Amino acid sequence: MPFCSSCGTEITGEVKFCTGCGLPVSGATPDPDVRSSSQPAKSEYLYRMVQVPPTISVRAREERGNEAATYLQTLADQQAAQGWDFYRVDRIGVITQPGCLASLFGARQYLIEYFVVTFRRRNM
């Protein structure tokens, strides 16, 4: 399947315009009712996603009970120093399918959960 060169949305069927960004699909005649510019509209914010580990390891004698908060505070401070504001934290599950050989030996799909911290700043 082809993908939009502007936004990466998969192009399915005989469409003239990308369903993701509205730009003409190559070979289609532009529609005057759709964006007159070939550039997508400017977003109010820029976003930065930082993947963080789902688990933090510490030695028993060093455990204080606030390790997760300290870790995230340090990350937020580092990003703030570069002009990024904390926006949110998301948990994202990724299912991994085994390869052909692993499947023959009984391997099954498995889920790995990741945590992503999103920061944003105004788009100038």
Q: Which of 12-16, 60-64, 69-73, 120-124 has the lowest mean pLDDT?
A: 12-16
Higher pLDDT, 65 or 86: 86
How many domains does the chain contain in total?
2
Within 8 A by CB and 6+ apart from 34, the residues are 17, 22, 23, 24
Same domain, 18 and 72: no
Q: Computed over its alpha carbons, how large is the radius of gyration of the chain?
A: 22
Q: Which of 35-39, 45-49, 83-87 has the lowest mean pLDDT?
A: 35-39
Same domain, 33 and 83: no
Structure tokens at 62: 């060093």
Rounded Cα distance between 123 and 66, Å, is: 34
- Answer yes or no: are the C-beta atoms of 40 and 123 closer than 8 Å: no
Same domain, 36 and 79: no
Same domain, 114 and 59: yes
Q: Which helix (H) or strand (E) holds 71?
A: helix 67-80
Same domain, 36 and 63: no
Which structural domain range is residue 49 located in?
Answer: 45-122
